[in-house]
Structure 1
Protein backbone atom coordinates (compact mmCIF):
# COMPACT_ATOMS: atom_id res chain seq x y z
CA UNK A 1 0.00 0.00 0.00
CA UNK A 2 1.29 3.47 -0.87
CA UNK A 3 -0.09 6.56 0.85
CA UNK A 4 0.51 10.09 -0.34
CA UNK A 5 -0.21 12.72 2.32
CA UNK A 6 -1.56 16.04 0.99
CA UNK A 7 1.14 18.45 -0.22
CA UNK A 8 0.69 20.66 2.83
CA UNK A 9 1.30 17.67 5.14
CA UNK A 10 4.69 16.49 3.86
CA UNK A 11 6.07 16.52 7.40
CA UNK A 12 7.02 13.59 9.60
CA UNK A 13 3.65 13.50 11.41
CA UNK A 14 2.20 10.42 9.65
CA UNK A 15 5.48 8.52 9.95
CA UNK A 16 5.82 9.32 13.63
CA UNK A 17 2.23 8.22 14.34
CA UNK A 18 2.72 4.86 12.59
CA UNK A 19 6.02 4.27 14.40
CA UNK A 20 4.28 4.86 17.73
CA UNK A 21 1.85 2.08 16.81
CA UNK A 22 4.66 -0.50 16.69
CA UNK A 23 5.83 -0.26 13.07
CA UNK A 24 9.50 0.17 12.22
CA UNK A 25 11.22 1.89 9.33
CA UNK A 26 12.78 -0.59 6.88
CA UNK A 27 14.53 -0.49 3.51
CA UNK A 28 12.15 -0.85 0.57
CA UNK A 29 12.35 -3.84 -1.78
CA UNK A 30 12.49 -1.32 -4.63
CA UNK A 31 15.06 1.52 -4.19
CA UNK A 32 12.62 3.96 -5.85
CA UNK A 33 10.65 4.07 -2.59
CA UNK A 34 13.76 4.79 -0.51
CA UNK A 35 14.30 7.86 -2.72
CA UNK A 36 10.72 9.12 -2.82
CA UNK A 37 9.25 7.87 0.44
CA UNK A 38 9.61 5.91 3.61
CA UNK A 39 8.71 2.23 4.07
CA UNK A 40 7.27 1.11 7.40
CA UNK A 41 6.75 -2.50 8.47
CA UNK A 42 4.13 -3.49 11.02
CA UNK A 43 4.83 -6.25 13.58
CA UNK A 44 2.73 -8.65 11.46
CA UNK A 45 4.95 -8.06 8.39
CA UNK A 46 2.65 -5.80 6.38
CA UNK A 47 4.38 -2.81 4.80
CA UNK A 48 3.19 0.73 4.19
CA UNK A 49 4.97 3.28 2.00
CA UNK A 50 4.46 6.99 2.60
CA UNK A 51 5.35 8.77 -0.63
CA UNK A 52 6.75 12.32 -0.83
CA UNK A 53 6.04 12.87 -4.54
CA UNK A 54 2.99 14.63 -5.88
CA UNK A 55 0.61 12.56 -7.96
CA UNK A 56 -1.83 13.72 -10.61
CA UNK A 57 -4.29 11.25 -12.12
CA UNK A 58 -4.15 10.92 -15.88
Structure 2
Protein backbone atom coordinates (compact mmCIF):
# COMPACT_ATOMS: atom_id res chain seq x y z
CA UNK A 1 0.00 0.00 0.00
CA UNK A 2 1.43 3.34 -1.05
CA UNK A 3 1.35 6.26 1.32
CA UNK A 4 0.48 9.30 -0.77
CA UNK A 5 -0.28 12.73 0.55
CA UNK A 6 -3.20 14.62 -0.89
CA UNK A 7 -2.50 17.94 -2.53
CA UNK A 8 -4.53 21.01 -1.60
CA UNK A 9 -6.44 20.64 -4.87
CA UNK A 10 -7.25 17.00 -4.05
CA UNK A 11 -8.53 18.00 -0.61
CA UNK A 12 -10.64 20.80 -2.11
CA UNK A 13 -12.20 18.37 -4.60
CA UNK A 14 -13.07 15.93 -1.80
CA UNK A 15 -14.62 18.68 0.34
CA UNK A 16 -16.65 19.94 -2.63
CA UNK A 17 -17.93 16.42 -3.28
CA UNK A 18 -19.08 15.93 0.32
CA UNK A 19 -20.67 19.38 0.57
CA UNK A 20 -22.61 19.23 -2.69
CA UNK A 21 -23.72 15.62 -2.34
CA UNK A 22 -24.90 16.26 1.21
CA UNK A 23 -27.07 19.16 0.12
CA UNK A 24 -28.57 17.21 -2.75
CA UNK A 25 -29.60 14.25 -0.61
CA UNK A 26 -31.00 16.50 2.12
CA UNK A 27 -33.06 18.46 -0.39
CA UNK A 28 -34.37 15.24 -1.94
CA UNK A 29 -35.35 13.86 1.47
CA UNK A 30 -37.19 17.06 2.46
CA UNK A 31 -38.92 17.14 -0.92
CA UNK A 32 -40.06 13.53 -0.59
CA UNK A 33 -41.25 14.10 3.00
CA UNK A 34 -43.35 17.07 1.85
CA UNK A 35 -44.78 14.98 -0.98
CA UNK A 36 -45.74 12.16 1.39
CA UNK A 37 -47.30 14.53 3.94
CA UNK A 38 -49.27 16.24 1.17
CA UNK A 39 -50.43 12.89 -0.20
CA UNK A 40 -51.99 11.89 3.13
CA UNK A 41 -54.52 14.48 4.36
CA UNK A 42 -54.90 12.79 7.76
CA UNK A 43 -51.16 13.01 8.39
CA UNK A 44 -51.08 16.56 7.05
CA UNK A 45 -53.78 17.57 9.56
CA UNK A 46 -51.79 16.03 12.44
CA UNK A 47 -48.59 17.80 11.35
CA UNK A 48 -50.46 21.10 11.03
CA UNK A 49 -52.02 20.70 14.50
CA UNK A 50 -48.65 19.89 16.05
CA UNK A 51 -47.01 22.90 14.40
CA UNK A 52 -49.85 25.14 15.62
CA UNK A 53 -49.34 23.82 19.16
CA UNK A 54 -45.59 24.43 19.02
CA UNK A 55 -45.60 27.88 17.43
CA UNK A 56 -48.74 29.39 18.94
CA UNK A 57 -47.50 29.86 22.41
Return the TM-score normalized by structure 2: 0.27
* Structure number having the greater helix percentage: 2
- Which structure has more strand as a fraction of its residues? 1
